[in-house]
Amino acid sequence: MMTRVDVFEDIFLVFLGLGTLVGIIVITYTLYNAYKYRDTGDAKADEDLPTLGELPTGGTGGKKLFLSFFLSAIIVISLVLWTYGMLLYVEEGPDGNPGDDALEVDVEGFAFGWNFYYEDGVESSGEMVVPAGETVWIETSATDVWHAFGVSELRVKADAIPGETDETWFVAEEEGEYLIECFELCGAGHSGMEGTLNVTSEAEYEQWHEDQRTLTLTFTDAFDEDDEYVGDLEAFEGTLEHADEDDPVETFSDADVEEGVFQLTVEQGDTYEVVIESPDGDFETVELEVDIVDGPEEDVVFEDPDDDEENDEDDEDDNEDETDDGGDD
Amino acid sequence: MAEDFPPMTSVKRWLVTTNHKDVGMMYLATAIFFLLFGGVMALLFRAHLWESGGAGILSDSAYNQAVTSHGLLMVFWFLSPFAAGFANYFVPLQIGAKDLAFPRLNALSYWFYLFSGVLLMVSFFQGGTFAGGWTMYAPLNVPTYTPAVEATTGGTATILALIMFTLSITLGTVNFLTTIHRSRAEGLGLWNMPMFTWSWLLTVWMMLFAFAALLAALLLLATDRILLTQYFATDQGSGLLWAHIFWFFGHPEVYIVFFPALGIMFETFQTFCGRRLVGRKWVIISLVLVTVQSFLVWMHHMFLTTINLEIKTLFMATTIGISLPFDLMVFALIYTMIKGRVRFTTPFLFSLGALVLFILGGITGVFLGAVVLDYEFRGTYWVVAHFHYVMVSGVTALIAGLYYWWPKITGKMYSETWGKINFAVYFIGFNLLYFPMFLAWETPRRVFHFAPEMQIYHQLATVGAFVFGASFLIMFYTLGKSLVSGPDAPDNPWEFSRTAEWAIPSPPPLENWDGRPSYASGRLEFVEDTPAATDGGTRTSASTSTSTGTATGTGLATAESAALAEHYGHGHEEEHADHASIWPFGIGLSTLVLFLGISGLTPFVAEFAQGTGADIAPDTDPNILYPIVSIVGLGMLLYVLWQFGMESFSAPEMAVAERWPFEGVGNTKLGLWFFLASDVVVFGAALGAFVFMRLHMGWGEWTTVPPVAWPGLLNTYILLTSSFTVILALVMAERGNKKGLIATLGSTLLLGLTFMGVKAWEYSTKFAEGDYWFSGVEYSIYYVTTGLHGLHVILGLLVAGFMIYKVAMYNAYLEDPDAVEHFGLYWHFVDIVWVFLFPLFYLM
């Protein structure tokens, strides 16, 4: 299987070699003739020299002109025909247009960064994680103005136009971090509009996905003011619900909480609602709406049932906004 | 009056002149100024590029403004006007005309050019000039709807400056097309024209159609920015729409800026190799092929967008196709040197240098034509390096032209030593500046963040930029010294030159020559037409003009005495030509004032829109000065246009000329046809925009704006009737029937007013329902397209009113009804456009 890097290097090298060769030959030939036919003051008396006021006629020597022209035309046309085959390969993709198992990522450019959306609902901002050695199909668009997504090292690029979706693919053979840049002027922050492509092993990739689809709940009830774990968590029953479904996706209780922290992984990243109730009414029911798309962390605060005023616990969140319903407003 | 024509030392001379040589010099000088301005922008951002992350010279926004204005200034305000300077000066000389077909319009072209540049300069102070790249991609170019970026008044002023510049170009192209096709000397067929004139002819053919597309794009963009329409603001095809219209212009544009340089290279190679151009016929055919093909390659700027594979393949093929004629032309130049007598003068060094640089640049262009490679080169410095190599190789040839024609224009020679030093520093600076860009090619465009390993290349380029800039200082010194203390130049300082400009004094007299140039005998002669003979009379051979230096009359020309026969002050050529008018200056200035005022109207429109309930907030505070300036500008414009129309200005047509294939039509009528051809493209682009956006949304999903078809149908009948009355008007004029003429012209005017009235009623019913032009893209397109047509109707009505006034007060057109016919032509065009508009907007 040829990666885009392979395709590019092959073609570029040939063009570079041929182009340099042709350039050197033609320019040398030009300069050589300029020197060879420099005016030395000998005028041949019978020569038909150009005179002021004559009507223009073409000089002779057309045959040589046509020979050179056809030669150069053949070179140029053959080169391009050859690349056409490669173009078809690149358009088709290394293993046919995305099969069902293909890894697909939606790339969204905005001023001035990149968001990535995976099929399992995971979202990432600024960093795209993919496994090494696997074909990644990306569909690129933009939310505001025309951007262009590109990873120079992997020879992949796609215009990101609002309202349009540009499809392309790439394969990263080696693990590591690659630079994503924007290749279309998009405003004052265009320069430095960067992102990271993180190429990992298959196992790390799967793990990352799982982490993104994992919600971490920290029960503040089990910690003291110095954030030391003290245990003593109240009993509760919790459910994780999805907007579209009647049955809860998951149920859990205080028994599942380890050292004050409970983690919950879903199959499909999306917006969920966490409901935590006290069976004895010891605290107000906690309702949290969470986007489980990028490994969110939430604090669960148990409020006394009569406490209406205290609601200034802000949740520590990473980088998305959800409504905090840690009490009653 | 010619007797009062001020001397060159007076300021007044330059404000009123319409003479092609004066206008040419003004273009050259002004273009050099904008070259410096654009160059300083480049030096600023190249200095900022000394370190990755920026060296702190420019803020982020200032960086984008510098990069944008550099591109705009160089592409628009320097390259073509500089070439136009040479064209103005030398095309008439080369073809044997005393001036362009429409001298006042020529002066007007210049003043539109100058004042458009002034407006661009003012835009820097209006919150910042345009900062979205010279390619002005959408939706970034309409930031009103995008919260992330700010719309500045300066950005709008930039767009208006470009519109004004496009008006300058359009007038110029109509002028040159008419001149070259109608004012060639006897015996000078199209095939016989010198190569520089050929290259300019094809340049203006391309300009006619390409700039019309640009004008459409700019008008739509201007309505977006000022009236808050939504052509380029949506995510429903706006980005692609701009790309298509802009690049349809943009690709021919690169040949528009290169062809004159190529034409100069053909001239200088022949002169300084002492050989006629090899394969001349094929070179001309290649030039024509490129001219046509230039309109068929534009999507190669869009390979990375969502166009499908079949289209990409087609445009890959056409792109490779267009490189082939250039191959032939390059070889033609090389072979012209063989068996020649090459002299390495300053003009030739610059020409040869241009050829070498163009070869390098052209080869790197083939890389870009291979779609697979373009996928990676897109948006990188490879593109930047490629186009600077080819375009600035064009600049190199233009400088060759400056050194070549300097003695003719100024009558002074310059120091060859200094000229050669100029070339050496130039060539070194050029390659030091642009070659490292190939090595740093992975750097994205318009950024100042790059990988550490690229830093050395960017620093080399920055050093190169300053060396390159310094070479221009040397050029100014060399040419300045020549003006002040250089030796006088002979009529023909260059051995083996052949074209007509070298047969007259340096500098040429106001009327260019005595008598009439003619090639009827097979070579250039200046003929005195006697009243008795139809041809013949005294002939003066071109090669015996008083030439000193190396150019003596070699070859087989018969030597005749330079004494001329007496003038016969009568008949054809002796008709007195005017050279002065202040009104072009006035129109240019008024337009500047008007456009300056319009640039700040957006906040007022936004407030209005808010008032109707639309969710639009103005970006900047309304400033009452702008509406005031707009009104003042409009008043000035109407006044000077009136004066321009009333002025009597004589620009006589040549009595004897080669005119194929336009023998049967007069200058004004031909000029009008050319103008209408470009107007067809403007409307074509506007209608194309409608079709594109509607297809993008889904033809059936589109909200059709007019609720009923009958007003459109009524208006169609009204317009068709008015075409009939305008035909009757011509009949009346031809019969000398004053009352009939006034009646028929008046009827046309009334019908036109009725049309506008029906239109006004239609618009107001839509407004009453809350459907304004900013209410959505369907509405924008309806109002702007019908509005553009309506604007043409209004302009026609103004002209008709003016003509009725002239008939009533001055008995105009009764002896010479041509103007009525011309007006009729324009009016028919306006009707035909409506016939296309009506079904598209009312019936589908």
Looking at the partner chain, which of A52, A55, A192 has a beta carbon nearest the beta carbon of B522? A55
Q: Beta-carbon neighbour count of residue B99 at 10 Å?
A: 24
Could you tell me what percentage of chain A is helix, strand and coil, using 3-state DSSP and rounding each to the nearest 5? 25, 35, 40
Question: Between chains, do A163 and B280 touch, taking CB under 8 Å as contact?
Answer: no
Q: How far apart are CA B441 and CA B299, in angstroms?
A: 22
Packed helices B583-598 and B153-182: angle between N→C axes, nearest 10 degrees:
150
What is the pLDDT at residue B620? 75
Which DSSP category does B654 fall into?
Answer: P
B498 touches chain A (CB under 8 A): yes
Question: Between chains, do A52 and B498 touch, taking CB under 8 Å as contact?
Answer: yes
How many residues does the structure list for chain A? 329
A58 touches chain B (CB under 8 A): yes
What is the pLDDT at residue B147? 47
Looking at the complex, report in whole angstroms how far the Cα of residue B137 sits from the nearest Cα belonging to chain A. 7
Contact B246, A168 (CB under 8 A): no
Mean pLDDT on B498-520: 93
φ/ψ of B278, rounded to 5, equals -70, 135
What is the pLDDT at residue B544? 44
Task: Report whether pLDDT(A324) > 60.
Answer: no
Q: How far apart are CA B625 and CA B627, in angstroms?
A: 6
Q: What is the pLDDT of residues B36-52, one digit of tens each?
A: 999 999 999 999 999 99
Q: Beta-carbon neighbour count of residue A96 at 10 Å?
A: 9
What is the pLDDT at residue B576? 78
Q: How far apart are CA B744 and CA B542, in angstroms?
A: 53
What DSSP string describes B18-78?
A: --HHHHHHHHHHHHHHHHHHHHHHHHHHHHHTTSTT--SSS-HHHHHHHHHHHHHIIIIII
Q: What is the pLDDT of residues B166-196, one digit of tens each?
A: 999 999 999 999 999 999 999 999 999 999 9
* Of B559 and B117, more confident: B117
Average model confidence (pLDDT) across chain A? 87
What is the pLDDT at residue B621? 82
Q: What is the pLDDT of residues A109-153, one digit of tens each?
A: 998 999 999 999 999 999 999 999 999 999 999 999 999 999 999
What is the pLDDT at residue B549? 33
Q: What is the pLDDT of residues B591-609, one digit of tens each?
A: 999 999 999 999 899 889 9
* Of B219 and A318, more confident: B219
Mean pLDDT on A30-55: 85
Mean pLDDT on B539-568: 36
**Residue B446 CA to chain centroid, in angstroms?**
26
What is the pLDDT at residue B565? 30
Q: Is B3 exposed, middle or buried (0-12, 13-18, 19+ CB in 10 A)?
A: exposed
Q: Interface pTM (ipTM) of the complex?
A: 0.90
CA distances to A234, B683, B722 from B755, rounded to whole Å, are 81, 19, 10
Contact A132, A172 (CB under 8 A): yes
Q: What is the pLDDT of residues B742-801, one digit of tens each?
A: 999 999 999 999 999 999 999 999 999 999 999 999 999 999 999 999 999 999 999 999
Looking at the partner chain, which of B360, B376, B498 has a beta carbon nearest the beta carbon of A50? B498
Upper half-sphere CA count for residue B294 (Cβ side, 13 Å): 26
Contact B707, B701 (CB under 8 A): no
Q: What is the pLDDT of residues B230-277, one digit of tens each?
A: 999 999 999 999 999 999 999 999 999 999 999 999 999 999 999 999
How many residues does the structure list for chain B? 844
Amino acid code (one letter) for A85: G
Mutate to test the interface with B, among A60, A67, A185 (most CBs of B within 10 A): A185
Question: Between chains, do A30 and B355 touch, taking CB under 8 Å as contact?
Answer: yes
- pLDDT tier at B647, thresholds 50, 70, 90: very high
Average model confidence (pLDDT) across chain B? 91
Mutate to test the interface with B, among A21, A52, A55, A147 (most CBs of B within 10 A): A52
Looking at the partner chain, which of B237, B279, B364 has a beta carbon nearest the beta carbon of A58? B279
Q: How far apart are CA A170 and CA B441, in angstroms?
A: 21
Pairing status of strand A147-151 against strand A135-142: unpaired
**Closest by alpha carbon to B403, among B509, B264, B275?**
B264
What is the pLDDT at residue B38? 97
**Closest by alpha carbon to B262, among B360, B400, B427, B88?**
B400
Query: Bridge-partner residues for B268, per DSSP?
Result: none
Q: Taking CB atoms and an 8 Å cutoff, what residues of chain A touch B380?
A: 152, 183
Q: How far apart are CA B517 and CA B541, in angstroms?
A: 10
Q: What is the pLDDT of residues B666-680, one digit of tens each?
A: 999 999 999 999 999
- pLDDT tier at B367, thresholds 50, 70, 90: very high
What is the pLDDT at residue A322? 47
Q: What is the pLDDT of residues B631-641, one digit of tens each?
A: 999 999 999 99
CA torsion sign for B499, B504, B509, B510 is: negative
A75 touches chain B (CB under 8 A): no
Q: How far apart are CA B267 and CA B397, in angstroms?
A: 11
Residue labelled with tokens 């007013």: B753
Q: Is A292 strand, coil or helix?
A: strand
Q: Beta-carbon neighbour count of residue B570 at 10 Å?
A: 11
Q: Taking CB atoms and an 8 Å cutoff, what residues of chain A touch B338?
A: 33, 37, 61
Mean pLDDT on B144-148: 52
When mean pLDDT is compared across A27-31, A79-83, A178-182, B493-497, the lowest value belongs to A79-83
Mean pLDDT on B453-466: 97
